[in-house]
Chains A and B, each alone.
Chain A
Amino acid sequence: MTETLTGAQAIIRSLELLGIDTVFGLPGGAILPTYDPLMDSKKIRHILVRHEQGAGHAAEGYAAASGKLGVCIATSGPGATNLVTAIADAQMDSVPLLAITGQVNSYAIGTDAFQEADIVGITMPITKHSFLVTKASDIPAVMYSAYQIATTGRPGPVLVDVAKDAQNAKFEFSWPPEQDLTPGYKPVNDPHGKQIQAAAEMILQSKKPILYVGGGVIRAGANKELLELANLIKAPVTTTLMARGAFPDSHPQHLGMPGMHGTVPAVTGLQKADLLITLGARFDDRVTGDVKTFAKGAKVIHADIDPAEIGKIRHADVPIVGDAKIVISLLTEELRKQIKGSSYDISEWWKYLDGLKERYPLGYTDLDDGKIAPQYVIERIGQISGPDAIYAAGVGQHQMWSAQFIKYENPNTWLNSGGAGTMGYSVPAAMGAKVAMPEKLVWAIDGDGCFQMTNQELATCTINQIPIKVAIINNSSLGMVRQWQTLFYNSRYSNTDLHTGTDSVMVPDFVKLAEAYGCLAIRVEKEEDVDKAIKLAIETNDRPVVIDFIVGKDAMVWPMVPAGVSNDAVQYARDAAPIWDGEE
């Protein structure tokens, strides 16, 4: 059965048929035709953002919180280029994202027409795939393929750029489309049985195994499978920045986050292990430090859905290509068979790790300037809000503290920009998450620098009744850069003072700014007011809430492994390296 539709109607109809219920966007000339039928859609809620970057991050937050595809729409030229940061972010963090952009009329492409930009060309290196549509009749198949590519295999961003005349032209619409636009796209979900067997054997022969868990486990929804595997083999677990929530923080086998700001037990656990059981992780430089000295004595099992990740940074002794959910459950099954009668025993390993856990717990100290310790604020937000809330962070010190001091028990509750490190992610991502999960408490934990990049979306939140809570960890500076200046540039603070603190000119005054956006705004300067403000924020659901937490600027993120240095050089606090046992 076919129906005569315009290309624009076909875009909306395809989205509806794909089950999309929410899109974030901002109209303009070249996408105007599509906004007309969008107005009539009963199934799709369009949320009008104030900046296209906000639409991109909101769609990312929506996707990360729900596990579904996030969709954003923008017009041609600058509308499309404003999406670029969010698209790059989604590519780095494997977020299923569909970006639909208007393009100038097909006959005007290449003429430097008004608001023309080659967005397919611009985004080629930062998308999983992209389509330029110049014929209305291609729209259903393109939309269908875009959905498939974005959501299957290793998820990622797909751009669909539609010329204005293709949106206006009429054609016979039918669904599902018969045209196969992606004959070369065949993600591998099922691992090779032999590799699973080899991995199980290697695990049972190890004395010092460690589960190195990455964001792939979250994207694959494999947290239950992971818990079963971990419970079976009793191995220690580390969850990377992208994997916080993949494994309960309350679990005694959890060593915490590895990497540059990882816990001493997690960093050291990886360094001293004889086997890395790597699941959906990619040996990012922030995790490995100097690669040559990373986990030198360890063999590597590396499971990933993207074959190109295996062997990219570190040789894999047992490479496994497949979906984490399937890989982990098959591995657990195989281990159950093999573990009987094996001499698998890692009690010595645990003795060592437990010692580290005891000696080097995460912590922080009060500040000399009498201001609130930022870690305290974040810790209290986590404790009061609990593990069912969703936390979206910006990028910098507050992001690291949020990864460290909030305890995560569930996947998709920790949203952040890990790979790209996009300042400004937090407010729009929290907005997208709240739209996806309206019944959940959603926090944006932001810095004073990050907040100034995308806070215009508070208007979107207020107008569309999206009551997120924003905690600005206001240290009046670009805190992480400042920390590096303290440590590596002789405390020469080049261009890191933002003047947003109470001891400065306070430009802008975040309370006034938030009030202007229709939010409930609270300023907290004393430790005893922290809880009260958090509770008031949680109780207030008729509008967004912004809390301006004035914190000390000298707080630093510890532990730390300086960039490019061996993880053996992890510092527990400034000039304080952990004391290793005699075996060193």
Chain B
Amino acid sequence: MSQHVLSLLVEDKPGILTRVAALFARRGFNIESLAVGTTEVDGVSRITAVVTLDGQPLEQVTKQLNKLVNVLKIVELEPDASVARDHMLVKVKTDAATRSQVLEAVTLFRARVVDVVSDAVVIEVTGDSAKCQAFIKVLEPFGIKELVQSGAIAISRGSKSMSEKILK
């Protein structure tokens, strides 16, 4: 099993997310996460897809994706040449006794509390997926009431931009 982070520049057209997701499903490629958003270029969206491959070469995935007419460009973002971040919101049970311990964990992980009520806090944390997983581990004993996580978004290091070449 190998994990890869793919960045796709796609035309911002209706159905594009379906086309990409359906292709993964149809060809039997596993998606760990998928995150979509607008970019610095009008009409161009960017999809970050984390894929896990069991035997198939990554090349097959990118070649099949490239056949989608609305896909403009695909790059693999290697871990050491890129930055990848997950975003997570966690609702943790707290009471007078545990609140300070939870807040200590928040500080250690450089997370933020975004909502507090008498018996719970909502914490926001950003980081690579290992950090997010570690944070969840720490919070688990207190009781996680709700957890929501974005897919990873990723960008290359350095000054080059992925959209440079595709725009005439």
Measured CB to CB, the residues of A under 8 A from B are: 120-121, 124-125, 128-129, 132, 149, 182-185, 306-308, 311-312
CB of B124 within 8 A of chain A? no
Query: What residue in chain A is nearest B73 (Cβ atoms)?
Result: A184
If A129-B69, A184-B69 touch, whether A312 touches B60 (CB-CB below 8 Å) is yes
The residues in B between 43 and 94 inclusive whose CB is less than 8 angstroms from any CB of A are 57, 59-60, 63-64, 66-73
- Which of A128, A129, A182, A308 makes the CB contact (< 8 A) with B63? A308
Is B15 on the interface with A (CB-CB < 8 A)?
yes
Select which of A120, A129, A307 is within 8 A of B66 by beta carbon: A307
Instruction: Scan residues 83-117 of chain B and give those whose CB is less than 8 A from a CB of chain A.
Output: none
**Which residues of chain A come closer than 8 Å to B11, judged between CB atoms?**
183-184
B71-A184 in contact (CB<8A): yes
Could you show 12 A-B contacts with beta carbons less than 8 Å apart? A125-B22, A125-B23, A129-B69, A132-B15, A149-B69, A182-B69, A184-B70, A184-B72, A308-B60, A308-B66, A311-B57, A312-B60
With beta carbons under 8 angstroms apart, the residue of B14, B60, B166 that contacts A311 is B60
How far, in whole Å, are A312 and B57 apart by their CA atoms in the complex? Answer: 9
Which residue numbers of B lie inside 8 Å of A, CB to CB?
Answer: 10-11, 14-15, 18-19, 22-23, 26, 57, 59-60, 63-64, 66-73, 166
- How far apart are the CA atoms of A149 and B67 in the complex, in Å? 11
Give Cα A182 to B166, complex, Å: 12
Give the residue among A125, A183, A306 with the most B Cβ atoms within 10 A.
A183
Which A residues are in CB contact (< 8 Å) with B68?
184
CB atoms of A308 and B14 under 8 A apart: no
Q: How many A-B residue pairs have CB under 8 A?
A: 41
Chain B residues with CB under 8 A of A311: 57, 59-60
Pick from B14, B19, B59, B66: contact of A132, CB under 8 Å: B14
User: How far apart are the CA atoms of A182 and B72 in the complex, in Å?
Assistant: 9
Known A-B contacts: A184-B10, A184-B11. Give 13 more (CB < 8 A).
A124-B19, A124-B22, A125-B22, A125-B23, A125-B26, A128-B69, A132-B14, A132-B15, A149-B69, A183-B72, A308-B60, A311-B57, A311-B60
CB neighbours of A185 from chain B (8 A): 69
Closest 8 A-B residue pairs measured CB to CB? A308-B63, A129-B69, A184-B72, A185-B69, A125-B26, A308-B64, A307-B63, A184-B71
Residue of A nearest to B167 (CB): A183
Chain B, Cβ-Cβ closest to A134? B14
Q: Nearest Cβ in chain B — how far from A374, in angstroms?
A: 37
Q: How far is the CA of A124 from the CA of B20 in the complex (A)?
A: 10
Q: How far is the CA of A401 from the CA of B9 in the complex (A)?
A: 48
Residues in A whose Cβ lies below 8 Å from that of B166 = 183
User: Are B67 and A306 touching (Cβ within 8 A)?
Assistant: yes
Q: How far is the CA of A401 from the CA of B63 in the complex (A)?
A: 36
Residues on the B chain within 8 Å of A306, using CB: 67
Asked whether, in the complex, the Cβ of A308 is within 8 Å of the Cβ of B15, the reply is: no
Q: Chain B's nearest CB lies how many Å from the CB of A365? A: 43
